[in-house]
Amino acid sequence: MTTVRFEAAHDAASPSAVVVFVGDGRQLSAGAQSVEAATGGQLGKAMKAAGFTGKKGKLLEILAPSGLAANRVLLAGIGDATKADARLFEDLGGDVAAKLQTLEPEVVADFSGIADLAVGTDVAAAHFAHGLELRNWRLDTYRTKLKEEQKPKLKSVLLIGAPSAAKALSDRLQKVAAGVAFAKELITEPGNVIYPESFVERCRKVVEPLGVTVTVLDEKDLARLGAGSMLGVGQGSAKPPRLLAMEWNGTGSPDTVPLALVGKGVTFDTGGISLKPGPGMEDMKWDMGGAGAVAGIMVALAGRKAKARVVGVCGLVENMPDGNAQRPGDIVTSMSGQTIEVLNTDAEGRLVLNDCMTWTQRTYKPKVMLDFATLTGAIIIALAHHHAGVFTNTDGLWGKLDAAGKAVNDLVWRQPLSEVGGHYDQLIDSTIADMKNLGPREGGSITAAQFLQRYVDEGVEWAHIDIAGAVWRPKGAPLHDKGATGFGVRLIDKFVADHFES
């Protein structure tokens, strides 16, 4: 984790990277004015030479500035100050981390004299540090031959001139960042390291010290409960399946009805007998991204002691094609008693989720249930990597998720869904069982959601969040490098804060 510190002023004799802020028209903040004076006008000269005007989101670097001990000064453009919000400062923090991760051990960001922002200076400073911390995450466990200049060096951020309220907000955001980092870690690890049993143990070591209650069901427990759908997916693997439940109750009352989160945790997906093409199959280590998001959410909520009761359930299997693997055409009976004709063993995530959803509803009786899954390639075709798709049976729940997503930039987009028996739903009717696990080529993400909806109890507000495009991205962005994004953790942290905490 990146250390976040607060001081009234910076020791000018300390070598580091200094960040100061510039508005439209090259309007210098008080901190920037101080640097301008100390350097004998270097900021103004550099801005003119580079054509830098303080445009929102732009950075200008000045190396070895005279008059300062700093190794470099970064000018961060905030554009129109009255529109400079928390997201802008997060993105600036992330961009600074990306630029300096292998160059400097500390960033000093001077918020002195920044006025008339869209948010308070305390919010701006805390979110700058949050963005820097989110972007500064790397997994270097297996990189044994890094050159010195490739190794990460950035360890801390020092915030100057930030109001005292910034520390409390920053502390809270650090707990959320820890959840995002844990999700990224689980999703990035290879399939020979993270599999159902090891996923459980890694989560247990992290969440139990935070006060989270852990329940684990093994394959015998699942068989006794009739989880034929989930067990069918895992029967071709030497790694036995697990159902992991993590419960956090910060309400002080055992009678509080919990928010239920369910995550798809296919720790590696070959497609089974319906084998995927070889090129790109290595990416299927992140097919447990839904379970990773749920685990990260639990770390964030428990870490910040959220005053809510939330249960996170992860269905953990490995989908492999051995001699005992499930065959296309097999029929399985789910925990709910409904039967499924398995037309394609690569449409396996819904077969895992449905039993987990049934168990969750029977065990916890939630009024609201959300599931997270890297469920379909079709959602990537529809939304690329910029939004997750949301399918829900409740307009109000969609509105809450949409608002939370926009607030933290975990963006979601609503997709169509029929009632059970409706036109989309009929596409998964089977001629030999209650349903089939695959619809036609068209509308693949929709028919997957229709399948899951058949396992939602009456009266439960439910949303299926297909994160296949959002959980892993081929290009970096201000708050993450290419690879795992930790999508969903900040979304649900905000959702819980807005609607489930007193």
Q: What is the pLDDT of residues 34-72, one digit of tens each?
A: 999 999 999 999 999 999 999 999 999 999 999 999 999
Which residue(s) pair with 391 in the sheet? 464
Distance (Å, whole) CA 297 – CA 295 = 5
Distance (Å, whole) CA 294 – CA 60 = 38
Distance (Å, whole) CA 59 – CA 56 = 9
- Are 388 and 412 spatial neighbours (Cβ–Cβ below 8 Å)? yes
SS3 content of the chain, % helix, strand, coil (to 5): 40, 20, 40
Fill in the amino acid letter for 396.
Answer: G
Q: What are phi and psi of 95, to 5 degrees?
A: -65, -40
Q: What is the mean pLDDT of each run of 10 residues along the chain (502 residues)?
A: 87 80 96 94 97 97 93 97 97 98 96 92 97 97 94 95 93 98 98 98 98 98 98 98 98 96 98 96 97 98 98 98 97 98 98 98 98 98 96 98 97 97 96 97 97 98 98 95 97 98 82
Which residue(s) pair with 102 in the sheet? none
pLDDT value at position 199? 98
Distance (Å, whole) CA 384 – CA 314 = 25
- In this structure, the number of other CB atoms found within 10 A of the CB of residue 192 comes to 11
| Token couple for 389 | 């798709």
What is the H or E stretch that residue 129 is in?
helix 121-135
Which residue(s) pair with 269 in the sheet? 319
- The 3 state secondary structure assigned to 194-257 is CCHHHHHHHHHHHHHHHCCEEEEECHHHHHHCCCHHHHHHHCCCCCCCEEEEEEEECCCCCCCC
Rg (CA), the chain: 24
Q: What are phi and psi of 114, to 5 degrees?
A: -85, 120
Q: Where are the alpha helices (DSSP H) in 307-394?
A: 349-364, 378-383
Instruction: Tell me how far CA of residue 306 lies from CA of 21, 30, 160, 236, 252, in angstroms.
Output: 33, 37, 29, 40, 11
- Are 53 and 24 spatial neighbours (Cβ–Cβ below 8 Å)? yes
Catalytic residue ranges:
276, 350
Pick from 435, 240, 237, 250: which is nearest to 333 by CA? Answer: 435
pLDDT per residue as tens digits for the range 473-491: 999 999 999 999 999 999 9
Residues 6+ apart with CB under 8 A from 97: 107, 131, 132, 133, 135, 136, 154
Residues forming CATH 3.40.630.10 domain(s) in the chain:
176-499
Q: How many CA atoms lie within 13 A of 197 on its CB side?
A: 7
Four-point Cα dihedral 20, 26, 28, 32, nearest 10: 40
Pick from 469, 317, 458, 245: which is nearest to 378 by CA? Answer: 469
Pick from 442, 453, 487: which is nearest to 468 by CA? Answer: 487
pLDDT value at position 115? 82
pLDDT value at position 13? 58
Give the pTM: 0.97
Q: Are strands 483-484 and 472-473 parallel, antiparallel or unpaired?
A: antiparallel
Q: How far apart are the first and last CA of the chain?
A: 29
- Are 153 and 101 spatial neighbours (Cβ–Cβ below 8 Å)? yes
Report CA torsion sign: 113, 114, 120, 123: negative
Q: What are phi and psi of 429, to 5 degrees?
A: -70, 140
Q: Are strands 435-436 and 339-341 parallel, antiparallel or unpaired?
A: parallel
Q: How many CA atoms lie within 13 A of 179 on its CB side?
A: 28
Say which residue the tokens 């290879």 belong to: 190
Residues forming CATH 3.40.220.10 domain(s) in the chain:
3-162
Distance (Å, whole) CA 294 – CA 309 = 14
pLDDT value at position 121? 96
Question: For the domain 176-499, what is the CATH code?
Answer: 3.40.630.10
- Are 117 and 79 spatial neighbours (Cβ–Cβ below 8 Å)? no
CATH architecture for segment(s) 3-162: 3-Layer(aba) Sandwich (3.40)
Fill in the amino acid letter for 494.
Answer: K
Fill in the amino acid letter for 312.
Answer: G
Q: What are phi and psi of 322, to 5 degrees?
A: -90, -175
Beta strand residue intervals within 374-447, DSSP E: 388-392, 412-414, 435-436
